[in-house]
Chain A
Amino acid sequence: MSALIDLQGITKIYRIGSVEVHALRGVNLQIHTNEYVSIMGPSGSGKSTLMNIIGCLDTPTAGHYLLEGVTVHEMDDNQLAMIRNAKIGFVFQTFNLLARATALHNVELPLIYAGVSAGKRHERAEVALTKVGLSDRQHHKPNELSGGQRQRVAIARALVNNPSLILADEPTGNLDSQTGEEILRVFDELHAQGNTIIVVTHEKDVADRAHRVVHIRDGNIADDVRNNRA
């Protein structure tokens, strides 16, 4: 079975003035469907860069990236936008909801860019919000919701397009431990339902929830272990 994500020799070099920063130095990584993977590493390790590349927000300087067999590393801005829209659901540390829009509208956003009609959009956004237990908060704006609720809205938004991959960047970073635990339980459920999840974190107990932990150090994979927690 071919991998959902297939990274081959991914290198990323940033140029800051005349200085070259090697953020990634030839990363090879395969992730299969319905895996629950955490990516760990200290700040400056290159894990954010790796996440951006996996999330199709950025392209590598060198190397090959196949997402579901589609070559991503040569794509332009607009093609990447389409791939993100169709295949990736993002969950961010700071939630990144539109402050002025209701929960429902926030969840509808990816569907708007996918060109789904208003009626279907509504329906699917409602289903997604119900899945994360927020069916009664559809018309609330982010500032009327608690941190945990906001992150649930963000998860609903990540789910609504039925992506191939849910990519979470420090999803519990802005939450207290109890709320964080609730969010992690949502991820467990999503994984149980067959979703592929990648969580980027520097917290060990968050990383340990995953079935596979990838450690990044100095732009390379230092460690890739199966976790027999289950």
Chain B
Amino acid sequence: MIAFFIKLWENIRIACTALVQNKMRTMLTTLGIIIGVLTVVSVASIIEGLNRGFASQIANLGSNTLWIAKFPWASGQDFFKYRNRPDITLENARYLIEHSRQAEIIAALTGSRQNLRRLDRELADIFVNGISEGFEQIQNLVVEEGRFFNNLEIEKNKNNVVIGWEIKDKLFGNRDPLNEKIKIGTVTYTVVGVLKKRGSILGENLDSEVYVPIGTILKNFGFHRSISILAKVADANDLERTRDELRYLMRLTRRLKPSEEDNFAINQQEMLTELYKKLTGGLYTAAIGIGTLSLLVGGIGIMNIMLVSVAERRKEIGIRKALGAKRKVITFQFLVESVIICGVGGVLAILLSFLVAMVIDKVTPFPSAVPAWSVIMGLLFSALIGLFFGIYPASKAARLDPIECLRYE
């Protein structure tokens, strides 16, 4: 065992000398491997980033929450069929709140993009959530300053607003925003609360939103809009039963005949997860394909260079064999060399991939993270490629005839 490591060390030294001797060639060969491994690890990083982003986005929707809406999620090409459905209304929400026994909390939500203004400061295109009672519990909204509006304010359609952390920062700076007035569109609202910082998901800044009583949106920005009804279940096991109940209640309040189809959709997180899996499944396959291809190209590069190296160093091989190097010793020497090229390439590629992940994270809306498994896989793959594509040139070197090699100049 110790003898093996001494031999390994000896060969690593020999290989390093040879590699340093041919810097340009070594660099170009390494580049092939770097590109291969970098492709694999980078794609893995993007996918990992997407997964994480998606997971937190999904968590935001709540796994225990059903969304009743006009359109089903992932509806695809049937857009026009769903478009003619009646809007989901506040009356529907009230009916469900009154009659549902299964749901823990039911709340209504609608939204509108409006410009926000305070004195001379203006924020364009801000998402205004119109919400009913209970929404903040379903979505776990936490107020940092002030308070959330109460039922009475919601029922009376008071023009009160709870603002996101960043909105406060941009409109008020260090001033206390509570009880100050801001304009949403053309309507004046009073700030009653500021939310705790939440961060951003898939480029959507959650701190740059505001919340108002749902009625005020309908009143100020138009009645003719479909809302969503969120129903939270205490226990995920009750999700199906609750779904059946809500469906029954919706059909009842809409007076649908048994022969008629549902004219509303009940969405849940699972639907998105499935769609997502379908999308990324293809992405994974494509990525594996591209990665394998580029690694293959890199490997062929290695084999090519090692064959050149063996041909060029026939003299050296001849000398070593004449002095008593056995076949496996020569094989080992050249294998170590190709594994080192690939190993160094792999390590460099992984260092680069951290950089690439950082750039992607900063420049694009996709979060990107280098997953540990891809680092291990990248290193393992590059070493394996060194071995696999190094074996043929190395064994070719070992089988050379020492007499002919010594004659070679």
Contact = CB atoms under 8 A, between A and B. Distances in A.
A191 to B, nearest CB: 22
Interface in A87-111: 90, 92, 94, 96-98, 100-101, 109-110
A157 interface: yes
Given A57-B402, A96-B406, A100-B17, A109 B326 contact: no
B323 A110 contact: yes
Given A52-B403, A100-B21, A112 B322 contact: no
Interface string B327-338: 111000000000
Contacts of A114: 324
Contacts of A84: 322-324
A100 B316 CA distance: 10
A58 interface: yes
Contact of A109 (B17, B21, B323): B323
Contacts of A96: 315, 318-319, 322, 406
A81 B6 contact: no
Interface in A176-217: none
B321 interface: yes
A82 interface: yes
Contacts of A77: 326-327
Contacts of B328: 78
A114 B329 CA distance: 11
A230 interface: no
A17 interface: no
Contacts of B316: 98
Contacts of A115: 3
Nearest to B315: A96
Residue picked from B315, B323, B326, B406, most chain A C-beta under 10 Å: B323
B243 to A, nearest CB: 74
B244 to A, nearest CB: 77
B183 interface: no
Nearest to A157: B323
Contacts of A222: none
A57 B324 contact: no
Contact of B322 (A86, A90, A100, A118): A90
Nearest to A113: B324
B10 interface: yes
A11 interface: no
B320 interface: yes
Given A82-B324, A100-B21, A118 B6 contact: yes
Given A98-B316, A112-B10, A81 B3 contact: no
Contacts, number: 58
A90 B409 CA distance: 18
Interface string B12-48: 0000011001000000000000000000000000000
Contacts of B329: 113
Contacts of A113: 320, 323-326, 329
Contacts of A52: 403
A164 interface: no
A38 interface: no
Interface residues of A, number: 28
A220 interface: no
Interface residues of B, number: 24
Interface in A29-57: 52, 55, 57
Contacts of A86: 324
A58 B401 CA distance: 9
Given A52-B403, A100-B21, A110 B319 contact: no
B345 to A, nearest CB: 23
A78 to B, nearest CB: 5
Contacts of A98: 316, 319
Nearest to A94: B409
A83 to B, nearest CB: 8
A174 to B, nearest CB: 12
Contacts of B325: 81, 113
Interface string A108-139: 01101111011000000000000000000000
Contacts of B318: 96
Given A92-B406, A96-B319, A78 B326 contact: yes
A85 interface: yes
A118 B3 CA distance: 11
Contacts of B6: 117-118
A220 to B, nearest CB: 21
B84 to A, nearest CB: 81
Nearest to A106: B319
B173 to A, nearest CB: 68
Contacts of B10: 112
B323 A85 contact: yes
B327 A78 contact: yes
A203 to B, nearest CB: 20
A85 B403 contact: no
Which of B10, B18, B322 is the most central at the interface, judged by chain A CB atoms within 10 Å of its CB? B322
Given A112-B10, A113-B329, A81 B324 contact: yes
Interface in B375-409: 402-403, 406, 409
Nearest to A101: B17
Interface in B277-334: 315-316, 318-329
B317 to A, nearest CB: 11
Given A78-B328, A96-B319, A157-B323, 12 more contacts: A77-B327, A81-B324, A84-B322, A84-B323, A84-B324, A85-B324, A96-B315, A96-B406, A98-B316, A100-B21, A113-B320, A113-B325
6 contacts: A57-B322, A57-B402, A57-B403, A81-B324, A96-B322, A96-B406
Interface of A: 52, 55, 57-58, 77-78, 81-82, 84-86, 90, 92, 94, 96-98, 100-101, 109-110, 112-115, 117-118, 157
**Which 4 pairs from chain A and chain B are nearest by CB?**
A85-B324, A113-B324, A78-B326, A81-B326
